[in-house]
Structure formats: structure tokens, C-alpha cells
A and B are shown apart, each in its own frame.
Chain A
Amino acid sequence: MGDFGIKDALSSITSEALLEALAVIVAASLLILMVQKAVPVLAAKLSGKPRLYLLASVPLFRLLVIVLTIIVVVPILVEPSFENMIAIFGALGLALGFAFKDYANSLIAGIVTLYEMPYRPGDWIEVNGRYGEVRSIGTRAAEIVTLDDTVIVIPHSLLWNTLLANGNDGTDNLMCVAEVFLDPNHDVGRMLGLFRDAIFACPLTKTYQPVLVTVAARETGMCYRLKAYPLEPREQARFISDLTARAAEICGDEGVPMVSYPYLQAQKA
């Protein structure tokens, strides 16, 4: 048993069995590839919950295919006895533990993400200061696309020790905040009302979700925060721009100047 029984377990493998197992693995890989390509294309044509459900089904489907492939391939290669299984998985465990520790770490974290679902395709997440929409969840890593259309690959292993902010958490409700800084000495109540009207007048607003306007006195001026939900999380940049533009228009009409921090810094200097 110096070789942990690996030799015995593998002695029954024939070239036909290897070919057969290879064919199953190739077929499974093609199926996964096809689903990973086709489903996001279909999901892009949908909106709301059907889109999110369809996107979320991809990693689950892949996990299912991988498990089924293992169940089919192992008996093709070795006799599925208790001793053989111990030998195979023991050797596999050693290999993963020493040679591919980080890779295995990400793989396991990938399985945990499917179970705990800290993020799903379609979610808007922030990890280590990077913000974007989860485009896909791979076996080892997730891909997010930032608002500037940059793809960032995030290994699942970050999940163990990194703070992760999820903006919509599997729903299509994503609160957005447009901030404006105004010169003090104006009618705050009136501005709060006008900003609220501006949010309701915006055609991108989900009016059945909460609409809030808050104000706080800061060193940089009176900070108004216009908080509301866009119709689609993907429209957040446009939504915030629209709210900011509407707020700026109101400030212009009301004669309340907007202020910016560089301007204040220059004044101090």
C-alpha cells in the first residue's frame, strides 16, 4: 500500500475506457460552453426577473453537468469500489493540496458562491473598490463589467476574507444616489420639495420604490442626496446623470448656486 492503492485502482484503465471518458468530458465541456454562450445572449433580450433567473441558472447548470460528468466518467475508468474511491480521491486531494492550493481554494469558494449566493449574474457588486455588474460566474472566478465597460476577473477565493457590497442582491431594485452640493443660505424646505418633484418627473424612476431626498450641512456646502431606484439597474449611470441635470436646472431656476470642492479649496488658498 506504499502507493495508497493508486496503482491497483488505475490498473484496469484501458485505452478504450480512456477514449470513452474523454468523449464524455469533451461532450460535457461543449454543452457547458454552449450554455455559457447562449443563455447570456437570450437573457440580454429579457428584462426584470426573467433575465436574472436565466443568468443565475448558468452556474447552477454548469455545476450539475460537472457532477454528472464525474458520476459517469469515474465508473468508466475505475471500478467504483470503496478502496478505489479512497485511493483516487486521496491522491487527488494531495495533488490539489500541494500543487494547486490557490486554484482549489477558488474552486471550493466557487461552489460556496452557488450555495450562499453572495452574488449572482446580474448583481451590481463592489469588491476591493471595483464596482460593476456580475457578467458570469466561472468555476474559479467571477467576471464583472464596470460602468466603463472594463471586465474585471475576481477569484472566488476573495470571498473568504474580503468585504463585498451587493447593490441589488438578486433583484432588479438598485438604489442610486445623486449628490449635489449647494451654497448655504437658501430655503432648504423648498429645495427638498423641488428635488423630490424632479425625481418623480424623471421617466427613469421606479416610482413604486421609495423616493428620498436628504440634506446635510458639510464643509463643502449643503449636501443634497437624491435617492431613488431606476427602472433597470443597468441604467444607473444615465439615471444619476439625469437626476443631477434636473437638480442643476432647479438650482439655476431658483438662483441657488452649486458649489464644488475644488472651488472651495481655491477660495481658502
Chain B
Amino acid sequence: MTDNNQADHPCLPGGLIPLEQWRVPETSVRRTIRSGLRDILDQLKAGIHPDEQAFRSLDDLPTLSERQIQDYAPVPDREELARALLNELEQLRRSGGQSRKTSFLVAPPFSGIAEALRASGRRVIAPPDNLLMPERDITGWWDHQLQDDDWVIPELADFWLRHRSGLGLLRELFARLARDKVGEGIIGCSGWCWKFWTQYLPELHLAPLTPSPLSGDRLTNWLGHLAGERPQGPLTARMTQDGLYVLPAPTGDDERKYSLFTRDLATLARGNPGVALAIWRRTLRARPEDETQQQGEEDAHQDGRQCWVAPLDQLSLPAVPQSSARQSGYLLHALLMHGGLGLGQLELTSGLPGEELRIALSRLERADVVTGDEQEGIFRVQALAYPAVRRYLQSKGYPVDSF
């Protein structure tokens, strides 16, 4: 549960830690003040610049092709993460750090834990079609699902609805978990869902674990690990404006000058790998600001894979459209607590009538804050917009997760 696990699991830097030990990565005072002032300014600017809410790049440097982005910053290998998680849990069990039969993992959205648990090779317990299941059926349903060991619930948020008839399934499960009578299994749970249920059941103590937050150093190593080793060598990434290095990760006897980019990125993403990766992919560029100035140094790296990184202040991340109405808040909070919802479920949980709901959703979609999966009919918050959404909900008084 410490930093020395980083070498064992490069896809899970820092390993798993108790939830109460999680801390947001540190940043400079200047950046904290600037971020706070920017939040207030964004609220004051409500309605002044309605077109500046979606993602925009404030530089005109060429971006990488989709193929290059897939090569330099690919989606993490879920099976590798699953192996690392199982290995970590096994080690904890052996060392006595995990006394319960059921392991409970709480993680922020986009952490990749749910996808990894689905790929873990264990029996996946899927949610029932009817989340508003009558109380008399709930006990029997769980008895049937939990009869064998080695099960996994990838995302607990899929098993409930914030509706007075939609709480029964998890209420029953938590009662069984509290008694540790559900056999050997692993449960993944979004931090937003967990926050609600710890407020609903304040006496609930399940000793949940969580992935360590990605600090600047861990993020550098993780991004380097994602880019992987190729015959052409590791990925070299440098800042577009001053040429300082971001990747490869510094070694002990390194004489290169490194940028503080990953530290700032880790803070902006609040140590969340999925969010950090989404922003990282948007910062990658094909050439620097002053190509001629960098030419000499660039020649030195012609053999390896190289790309350039735009500073974070050159990106305008999606922002929640400001308005005096509260529809956006209801929708975003409901989507985060449930990890994504369909229109019918959103109506039930947000309490908004259908037409009002569709109007509010379309506004959030235009601002790149929410995306709708046409096949599944599910709406989700975009990873790139997550920092803004979390700040927005917090400023409006909503209960937010601990991450």
C-alpha cells in the first residue's frame, strides 16, 4: 500500500490505499489562487460568452493524427490493470491488510477500475433489468446472485436509482456486506455513489480501498508506461513553448530540464488517471511554437518517437453552461452518482419533466459536458469536462465525492 508498489504495477502507480488516506495531489499556491479566481470569474461571466463553453485549443499548432494519439497515449490495458488489482488485493489479504472476505474498491469516475473488474475473469454480477424491484423480491435476487464465491460487481452505481423505490437493492447488499456474509467477491464503486450511501447509512464501515492518487511523478511514469517501449525507443514529449521535457520519465542521472507540466496536470485532474489521460491527449502537438529554434535539439531525437505538449493554459476545457436555473446541476449530479443514465431513468432521478430534461441535456451536449451513447441510449459526463463539472456542483452546494 505504499510507493514501493509502483515498480511492481506501473499501470497502478502507488497501489491501493485505504480511502481515508487519499489526498489530492499538491500544487503551487499561485495555481490554486488562479484556479479559484477563474471559477468565480466563470460564474460571473454567465451568459456573456455562451459559445466559449465547449473544448477549444487556444493555440494554432498542428495536433497529432488519431493514429499517433492512439500510439502515444492509448487507452489503458484493462486486463493488465485487472491483474494488478487482483495481485494487490491478494498481497493485502496475505499481509493482513484486508480482513474482510469482500474487497470494496471506491474510485473516482474514469479511473478505469470498473472496466478492469469486468475484464478480471471472475463471474460478473450484472444489475437486474428492473432497478425498482419490489422489496419482497430483493432478498431472493441477492441470494441467487451471491450463492458462489469469486464474483465481482464492477460498478455498484449500476444497481440503484435515486428514487424512493430504487434504494432497496443496495440497502439489502450493504446490510449483508456489513455482516460480511456475502462470500468472496470484489465490488467496485464510484466515489459519488459511495458518498451518497455513506450519508444514507452513516454507520456503514466497509474499510474501502482506493487507487493512490496520481501525483506529478506517478503521472509521468504512468504516461510513459502507456506510451510503452517501441523499437524506435520511448516517447519523448516536450513543451511547445520552452522545450522543457515531460517524457520520458526522469532517471537519477538525468541532465535534462523537466517541466512542471505533469504536476499541474495531476492537480487539474485531482489525481484521476482517466481525466488526466483525456486532457493529456488534447495537449499533444506535432510541432513546437518556434520550429526553427527547436530544430537543433529536435535533430538529436530524430531516432525516437517525439511529440510536443501544449501548456495547460493554452487549452480551454469544456465548462458547464452557467444559468440561474438549476436543471444542469440536477442532471450532472444524477449522471455522476449513477455513472450514466438513460432518459427515463434521468426523469425519475432528477425529477425533471421529459421536455425540460431534453432541453437541458442538449445544452450540456453542445457544451461537450455530456455525451449520449446512441446505441445504449445512455448519457454520461465527459472525462474532459469532469474537473469543471465537479467544481460547478461543489459551488452550487451539491454533495461531491471525496476525490
Contacts and interface: CB of A to CB of B under 8 A. Distances in A.
A48 interface: yes
Interface stretch (B222-230, B369-377, B390-398): B390-398
B349 interface: yes
Contacts of B334: 203
A75 to B, nearest CB: 39
B349 A206 contact: no
Contact of A246 (B164, B330, B349): B164
Contacts of B324: 44-45
A47 B351 contact: no
B200 A203 contact: no
Interface string B52-81: 000000000000000000000000000000
What range describes how many residues of B lie at the interface?
20 to 34
Interface in B320-354: 322, 324, 326, 329-330, 333-334, 349-351
B134 to A, nearest CB: 12
Contacts of A246: 164
Contacts of B350: 203
Given A45-B46, A197-B167, A246-B164, A203 B396 contact: no
B163 A201 contact: yes
Interface string A195-227: 001101111001110000000000000000000
A42 interface: yes
A206 B12 CA distance: 34
A197 B164 CA distance: 5
A194 B163 CA distance: 11
B389 to A, nearest CB: 15
A200 B200 contact: yes
B398 A231 contact: yes
B174 interface: no
Contact of B399 (A201, A208, A242): A208
A250 interface: yes
B361 to A, nearest CB: 15
Contacts of A172: 397
Given A45-B46, A48-B395, A207-B200, A200 B167 contact: yes
A46 B40 contact: yes
B44 A45 contact: yes
Contacts of A143: none
A202 B200 CA distance: 13
B199 interface: yes
B397 A201 contact: no
A194 B324 CA distance: 32
Contacts, number: 64
B259 to A, nearest CB: 33
Contact of A46 (B43, B163, B164, B199): B43
A47 B44 contact: no
A203 B395 contact: no
Contact of A201 (B164, B199, B396): B164
A263 B356 CA distance: 37
B162 A201 contact: yes
A45 B350 CA distance: 23
Given A197-B167, A198-B164, A47 B397 contact: yes
Contacts of B395: 46-48, 50
B142 interface: no
B35 to A, nearest CB: 14
Nearest to B166: A201
A200 B350 CA distance: 12
B22 interface: no
A206 B397 contact: yes
B196 interface: yes
Which has the most chain B C-beta neighbours within 10 Å: A44, A197, A201, A242? A201
Given A42-B44, A231-B396, A235-B326, A207 B164 contact: no
A200 B324 CA distance: 24
A242 B352 CA distance: 12
Contacts of B349: 203
Contacts of A44: 324
Contacts of B329: 231
Which has the most chain B C-beta neighbours within 10 Å: A202, A203, A250? A203
Contacts of B163: 201
Interface in A34-53: 42, 44-48, 50
Nearest to A173: B397
B44 A46 contact: yes
Nearest to B47: A45
A169 interface: no
Interface in A1-49: 42, 44-48
A87 B166 CA distance: 76
A232 interface: yes
A235 B330 CA distance: 13
A207 B398 CA distance: 8
Nearest to B398: A231
A125 B271 CA distance: 42
B362 to A, nearest CB: 20
Interface in B208-265: none
Contacts of A202: 351
Interface string A48-77: 101000000000000000000000000000
A50 B330 contact: no
Contacts of B166: 201
Interface in A66-121: none
B69 to A, nearest CB: 37
Interface of A: 42, 44-48, 50, 172, 194, 197-198, 200-203, 206-208, 231-232, 235, 242, 246, 250
14 contacts: A42-B44, A44-B324, A45-B44, A45-B46, A45-B324, A46-B43, A47-B43, A50-B43, A200-B196, A201-B164, A201-B166, A203-B333, A207-B200, A208-B399
Instruction: List the 7 closest A-B pairs by CB distance, nearest first.
Output: A207-B199, A231-B397, A197-B164, A201-B164, A203-B330, A208-B399, A207-B399
Given A50-B43, A172-B397, 20 more contacts: A45-B46, A45-B322, A45-B324, A46-B40, A46-B44, A46-B395, A47-B43, A47-B396, A194-B164, A197-B164, A198-B164, A200-B162, A201-B166, A201-B167, A203-B162, A207-B196, A208-B199, A208-B399, A231-B326, A231-B396
